[in-house]
Structure 1
Amino acid sequence: MDAKLPLFIISKKIFRWASVNRYISSYLCATQFQISTENDHNQPDNTEFQSKVGLLKNELCSDKLIRVLDSTNNLSAAVKIFKWASLQKRFRHTADTYSWIILKLGMAGNIREMDFFCNEMIKAKCSSAEEALVPVIDSFVRNHRLTEALRVLELMKLSNYKPSVITYNLKLGSLVKDGSDFQSVLFFYKEMVKSGIVPNVDTLNYLLEALFRANRITTAIDQFRRMSMKGCSPNSRTFEILITSLCARNRVDESVSILNEMLEQRCIGDENFYNTTIPIFCEVSRSDQGIRLLRMMRSSGLVPKSFVYGILVQCLCENLELDEAINLHEDMIETGLTPEADVYVDIVNGFCKAGEFCEARDFLDENSVSEIDPHNALLLGYCNASNFFAAYSYLQKMVERNIADSFSWYILIRGLCENGGVRKTFEVLSRMIISSYVPECAIYSALVVGQCKVKNYEAALQLFYWIRAKYWLLDNASYAELVEGLCHVTKLKEATEVLQYMSRSGCPLRASSLNVLIEAFCLTGKMDEAIGLRSLASSSGTVCSPLAYTTIMHWLCNTNNAKYVSVLFSQMLVEGCPLDVETYHVLLNAMSMQNRTNDCALLFGKMVACGLEPNSKALSELLIFMAHHSQLHTITHAIENLVCKDEVLSPTIYNVVINGLLNEGHKHEACRFLDRMLDSGWVPDAVTHGLLIGTIGKEEVDGGADVHDNFIMQDRVGNILAEGLEKT
């Protein structure tokens, strides 16, 4: 058996074991089996051994022995005490005491001594031995001690104790529920079959679940097809696993086919099947299958719960199937269920999404809805449609009927502020206060947005100061509007104060707003402050986008501080910020300014490998720089692999590449690029043409104008050739 044990099974952290079994005493609890190997020594503590034996001499019984063993910290001492008890004439170990020592040793990974006591237990023919070992095996499995579990099972089998398929299924179920890797589940399943235990449908269901979790979809479906060959018929749980797993992987059509098979086989789903599959179909917007399952559920005599109806109604409303949603709502009431407020909210949202506001209003009136949330949903619908007159009228009626709250006023005020209706906003705010509603922080957040929308940034700033004095917090959108607005009027000191308050409060700023603030500092030449903003923002949880880094790097290059770009680039990599095309552009520019050809080649190669295309200007500048340093050949492989657009890989680019490679002595590569150029229907310029046919010597090119001037100069011969091509 030892040879069959897999190498991948290793000791892991011992979790709490809470299995309760009527055949085993309560001492089998998790805390009693957590073994700290650091506290165990090869030699037992004689002092502890003597003191514990002294407690047992006058009153040795199995229960007291277990209590004493529980209080023994040293495993070797516990084993010695156990063996001492075995030698006492008037004492015989029970299934409980053997189970204790077997579990203790197994959890410590001491398989040799565990085997010894298993054999001793079998020789002693203790009553209820099999029942006592079952929870021990279960504990091993739960704590990922598969080696120990299988050893006990093997010994039980050799002693004619044959665990039932139920016992094995419990172990498989524990592995699957605990998220064990598929190899562990498969190994245990194979050992079960080797023991002569015939798998049943529950066994195969656990196997299917493990296969899907390991993303072995084809194998899982194949196992499902083979169930009949193993003498099993799929049950409700089988179809539940298949349908939910396929839907979760966006294979909805296949899951519908499986559902059809279920109906053809006349398999009746249980309550858990419907409660699980209906929501999963709703998640993938297949309300038709959800309704179908609901009807099947009703025809089976099962009464759907409120949450099932709620999920279906939500799905129907999102897909604007409002008539069906209303029918479901009525069906709920007929079955004696009281729809929750969320159901009414979803239906109202559906009506508003369809622009049917009158229908939404009639629906709430007809059903005498007294909850505030559905009415607030209708109020929000009016505001989203910019129908503020209707929204204000409806809010007044809500107040009259006492079904409004502070959030109702906030919805209208926020809507007005978002649309620049500040003057009307203060009228509504006055009415709110007169109606005995106290404005909360959210109201002031809306007012800040409103002032920013009408470019009254000073008033917005004063509101912020007032809110800060009260230690209140604005919402993220309000902070973003305020920071961006202050940047537009170059109040950068004040914008920084806002960011500092946000940072102290742990409130993140929108990434795009941070970019605006950083760019504003860069435009004024305050690079140190711009760099400091990045650190300040990150302390509040604000995510720095690639644009924020790129902006700073760009201005560092413009102010002849390209040497600091590498530091910022390192921080960018440490923080896991992705690199976009513009980031690569500015990095290549910075490396070129420092004459770092090797770094340019590495960066360009990485850029192309990531599937990013440089623009024509950036590519030209890089090629000219590399050609000037006779290093163009180091990036030709990247250029060849570059999937470029026509405007990126142009005749000008080809001329630079061919020219540079010829000057560097790489004639073969130059000819390869010439072939590609000609295949594209383009003609080389005069300098390139001269180099290729030998009419211009290399010394003449080196001694004359630089490469850049050579490749951009007008060439009569090239023009004539081009004209000839145009005529053709």
Structure 2
Amino acid sequence: MHMNMHRFRARVFLRSISLCKSKWHQHHGAQIHFSQNRTSTGPGFVEFETEPSMQMQVLKALCSGERKKASDLLLDFGSRTHSLTADDFLHIFKYCARSPDPLFVMEIRRFMELKGVSMNIICSSLMIEALCKGGCLEEAFHVMDSLGGSQCLYPVLPLYNSLLGSCTKMQSLIQANKCLDIMEKKIVGRSEVTYTELLKMENLGLQPSCHTYNGIIKAAVSHGNVGDAIGVLKKMQQKKLKPNDSTLATLSITCSKALQLDLAEAFLNQISECLYPHPYNALLASCDELNQPERAVQVFAKMKQKKVLPNIRTCELLFSLFGVVNAPYEDSDILSQVDAAKRINAIQKDMATNGIKHSHLSIKNILKALGEEGMIRELIQYLHLAENLFIYQNPSSGTHMYNTVLHYLVEAKESDMAIAVFKKMKLCGCNPDSETYNIMIDCCTIIQSYRSACLLISMMIRKGFCPVICTYTAIIKILLEDDNFDEALNLLKQVKLDGIQPDVLLFNTVLKQACYKERIDVIEFIVELMHREKVPPDPRTCGYVFSAYVNSGFHSTAIEALQVLSLRMISEDGNILGEEKKFVNEFILSEDLSAESQILKLFEDSEDELAVGLLNLRWCAIAGFPICESADQSLWARRLEGKRF
């Protein structure tokens, strides 16, 4: 590699000699004067009074036209001097830039490379100037290509201007645009200077080509500066230049990733010909993430209209988008299941037409869609397909697929089928993970087998997986079904001892059964424990506690408890005396008939707890009960806080 590099450099040097030969003879047709004691501003005069002897001798030889002597002096100095820096050649570079002398500047560069002397920005700038003035633009492009990375772009920017200026003086727009294309590569490192550079080009009288604009847009996009890219795009439109399809595709993909779907689709629609589905896939992925299947239908229709062939990624996204009909708005029914089956079959038919084979993700998305629709028979059929395609050849790849199937079987309360799938999973060499064990422990709540759950926990621990909050929730649920509240509460304490933070789902599991069994003592214990653990209640918490008191005939306490829990849903400290004070007048005590409609709008913003809390308090006020603005004011809350559980 080292040898090849020197050969390449030699070729560059020889080419520079041929390119610059005529310019050199033209220049040396004129007489060059030399003075050792005084300085002149003329291009051939150099001040030597303070120069080191090596540079003085080389410069004297150059000014006298003794090229061979200058070269010999340079080589002789290199053999006698062990440590050299770029500064040892600085004034020679200055002379070459003023003269100009592109031939000798290339000789210096080759000499420095052989001696391992690194160029600095000043010497590089002077070298570029010498090459440009000498008409060796191709060589100047080669030098520029080795400079101007992301860390040193700003010092190098004047060199671009030097190149552009030379191109302009020589009326060489072809060379100028080549220069702008070097520049595009460097701007990738610091895309924020693109506007600056466009202005410099225009000030020099250059008109950047369409290709140049496209390169600058891509450079800006590569660093996430979409705003800058769009600014350059507008400049193109003002000049009636059309961006190429690859630039539009890049912009569309970037906007899709930023979830700017309108902008992404607008760029996508401007593409005249798209040979690859990547920009469409990016937009489909964003539609999937934002749950906008309606827009995805339009995107896929345009893809088909423009005859863009899908790939496996397209199909994976289509299964995710269209495999489920109603989620998350409605439960599945027979009609939605039939519709889902049609969609899945249609996508698979398209795959067969285009010769696309299933991937792990496409099968996983189908399994998820079938599970969401409750299509258990089809779920098992596609599991068999996954086993034949992937799992039997590579058992480790099947864990996630089995977990998906097991989850939906347990959700559908198909415990026998889930147990059979779990056994088959282990037999085919697919190792269960923590998620698998927790799903099967949850399955034990269906068959009401505390013993099986304990065996699974034992297996889980032996495999190196620690119980998590959902593990305890499932075990406690089994104990509560047997009315074993004492053991369930002991296990609840163990959760804290194990350093696991309890969540509202765990507490609601206990509250639900305590409400059903009218265990007020357990209800009050859990409510206070939630308060001490700073776990805010949710609407289900309010419902279980309220119903428990009502069922036991404690109606006033039920209202008071409902208010306290609602306040704790609205505010972390359980009061609306501070910033939330506006809720009292605007929503809770307001006589305006539109107050409830305004509260219901909070559901649209996913502020369910706030909306339910406000509705509960408003209902209490309408029923004629005094509103408690702070949980600390409640006698019920203070009584629970003072109890020793």
TM-score, normalization by structure 1: 0.46
Correspondence 1:414 to 2:414: no
In structure 2, the residue matched to 1:384 is: 411
Query: In structure 2, how many angstroms separate the alpha carbons of the residues matched to 1:285 and 1:249?
Result: 15
In structure 1, the residue matched to 2:638 is: none
Q: In 2 relative to 1, CA 116–581 (structure 1 residues): closer, same or farther, beyond 3 Å?
A: same
**Residue correspondence of structure 1 range 511-660 to structure 2 within 5 A:** 615-616=576-577, 643=582, 645-646=584-585
Correspondence 1:172 to 2:181: no
Query: In structure 2, how many angstroms separate the alpha carbons of the residues matched to 1:426 and 1:267?
Result: 59
Tell me which of 309, 312, 317 is aligned to 1:306.
312
Report the Cα offset of residue 416 of structure 1.
3.1
Letter in 2 for 1:342: L
Letter in 1 for 2:417: A
Letter in 1 for 2:464: C
In structure 1, the residue matched to 2:165 is: 157
Letter in 1 for 2:584: K
Query: In structure 1, how many angstroms separate the alpha carbons of the residues matched to 2:432 and 2:78?
Result: 61
Query: In structure 2, how many angstroms separate the alpha carbons of the residues matched to 1:125 and 1:215?
Result: 38
Q: In 2 relative to 1, CA 421–642 (structure 1 residues): closer, same or farther, beyond 3 Å?
A: closer
- Secondary structure of residue in 2 paired with 1:143: coil
In structure 1, the residue matched to 2:363 is: 344
Report the Cα offset of residue 73 of structure 1.
7.5
Letter in 2 for 1:384: E
Q: Structure 2, unaligned stretches of length 5 or more? A: 13-49, 56-67, 327-339, 392-397, 481-486, 508-531, 536-569, 590-645
Contact 1:316 / 1:324 at 8 angstroms: preserved in 2?
Answer: yes
Contact 1:227 / 1:233 at 8 angstroms: preserved in 2?
Answer: yes
Query: In structure 2, how many angstroms separate the alpha carbons of the residues matched to 1:289 and 1:95?
Result: 63
Query: In structure 2, how many angstroms separate the alpha carbons of the residues matched to 1:77 and 1:169?
Result: 33
Tell me which of 192, 200, 206 is aligned to 2:201.
192
Query: In structure 1, how many angstroms separate the alpha carbons of the residues matched to 2:8 and 2:302?
Result: 42
Report the Cα offset of residue 135 of structure 1.
0.6
**Residue correspondence of structure 1 range 449-464 to structure 2 within 5 A:** 450-453=474-477
Query: In structure 1, how many angstroms separate the alpha carbons of the residues matched to 2:277 and 2:405?
Result: 35
In structure 2, the residue matched to 1:593 is: none
In structure 1, the residue matched to 2:322 is: 316
Query: In structure 1, how many angstroms separate the alpha carbons of the residues matched to 2:202 and 2:533?
Result: 56
1:648-703 CA distance string (max 9 Å, x none) = 999xxxxxxxxxxxxxxxxxxxxxxxxxxxxxxxxxxxxxxxxxxxxxxxxxxxxx
Letter in 2 for 1:94: M
Report the Cα offset of residue 334 of structure 1.
4.1
Report the Cα offset of residue 129 of structure 1.
2.3
In structure 1, the residue matched to 2:372 is: 353
Letter in 2 for 1:133: V
- Secondary structure of residue in 2 paired with 1:332: helix
Tell me which of 443, 463, 477 is aligned to 1:440.
463
In structure 1, the residue matched to 2:401 is: 374
Query: In structure 2, how many angstroms separate the alpha carbons of the residues matched to 1:284 and 1:96?
Result: 61
Contact 2:163 / 2:179 at 8 angstroms: preserved in 1?
Answer: no
Report the Cα offset of residue 185 of structure 1.
1.5
Q: In 2 relative to 1, CA 330–253 (structure 1 residues): closer, same or farther, beyond 3 Å?
A: same
- Decide which moves more: 407-416 or 305-314: 407-416
1:10-50 CA distance string (max 9 Å, x none) = xxxxxxxxxx99976899xxxxxxxxxxxxxxxx9x9x99x
Report the Cα offset of residue 141 of structure 1.
5.0
- Secondary structure of residue in 1 paired with 2:584: coil
- Decide which moves more: 319-328 or 384-393: 319-328
- Secondary structure of residue in 2 paired with 1:391: helix
Query: In structure 2, how many angstroms separate the alpha carbons of the residues matched to 1:59 and 1:99?
Result: 13
Q: In 2 relative to 1, CA 120–180 (structure 1 residues): closer, same or farther, beyond 3 Å?
A: closer
Query: In structure 1, how many angstroms separate the alpha carbons of the residues matched to 2:107 and 2:407?
Result: 68
1:369-410 CA distance string (max 9 Å, x none) = 55234344212211233332331244345567x375434962
Q: In 2 relative to 1, CA 397–241 (structure 1 residues): closer, same or farther, beyond 3 Å?
A: closer
Report the Cα offset of residue 216 of structure 1.
4.0
Query: In structure 1, how many angstroms separate the alpha carbons of the residues matched to 2:419 and 2:389?
Result: 19
- Secondary structure of residue in 1 paired with 2:191: coil
Tell me which of 67, 91, 94 is aligned to 2:106.
94
Report the Cα offset of residue 187 of structure 1.
0.3
1:312-336 CA distance string (max 9 Å, x none) = 3233336665533443234334433
Query: In structure 2, how many angstroms separate the alpha carbons of the residues matched to 1:269 and 1:643?
Result: 57
Query: In structure 1, how many angstroms separate the alpha carbons of the residues matched to 2:441 and 2:74?
Result: 70
Query: In structure 1, how many angstroms separate the alpha carbons of the residues matched to 2:311 and 2:74?
Result: 48
- Secondary structure of residue in 1 paired with 2:355: coil
Count of residues paired in the alignment: 437
Contact 2:415 / 2:443 at 8 angstroms: preserved in 1?
Answer: yes
1:395-450 CA distance string (max 9 Å, x none) = 345567x37543496255332367794525259759x98xxx99513386686665
TM-score, normalization by structure 2: 0.51
Tell me which of 151, 164, 175 is aligned to 1:143.
151
Report the Cα offset of residue 342 of structure 1.
2.0
Query: In structure 2, how many angstroms separate the alpha carbons of the residues matched to 1:98 and 1:313?
Result: 61
Report the Cα offset of residue 232 of structure 1.
1.8
Query: In structure 1, how many angstroms separate the alpha carbons of the residues matched to 2:83 and 2:426?
Result: 70
**Residue correspondence of structure 1 range 212-231 to structure 2 within 5 A:** 213-214=224-225, 216=227, 220=230, 224=233, 227-231=236-240
Contact 1:140 / 1:148 at 8 angstroms: preserved in 2?
Answer: yes
Contact 1:236 / 1:273 at 8 angstroms: preserved in 2?
Answer: no
- Secondary structure of residue in 1 paired with 2:413: coil
Q: In 2 relative to 1, CA 272–451 (structure 1 residues): closer, same or farther, beyond 3 Å?
A: closer
Report the Cα offset of residue 353 of structure 1.
0.7
Letter in 1 for 2:183: K
Tell me which of 68, 82, 87 is aligned to 1:76.
87
1:507-566 CA distance string (max 9 Å, x none) = xx54869xx9xxxxxxxxxxxxxxxxxxxxxxxxxxxx9959xxxxxxxxxxxxxxxxxx
Letter in 1 for 2:87: S
1:100-134 CA distance string (max 9 Å, x none) = 89xx9998554xx5544433344566584233234
Query: In structure 1, how many angstroms separate the alpha carbons of the residues matched to 2:455 and 2:423?
Result: 10
Correspondence 1:327 to 2:346: yes
Contact 2:476 / 2:491 at 8 angstroms: preserved in 1?
Answer: no
Q: In 2 relative to 1, CA 25–280 (structure 1 residues): closer, same or farther, beyond 3 Å?
A: farther
Query: In structure 2, how many angstroms separate the alpha carbons of the residues matched to 1:546 and 1:254?
Result: 46
Letter in 2 for 1:392: I
Contact 1:383 / 1:412 at 8 angstroms: preserved in 2?
Answer: yes
Query: In structure 2, how many angstroms separate the alpha carbons of the residues matched to 1:123 and 1:179?
Result: 28
Report the Cα offset of residue 347 of structure 1.
0.5
Q: In 2 relative to 1, CA 281–240 (structure 1 residues): closer, same or farther, beyond 3 Å?
A: farther
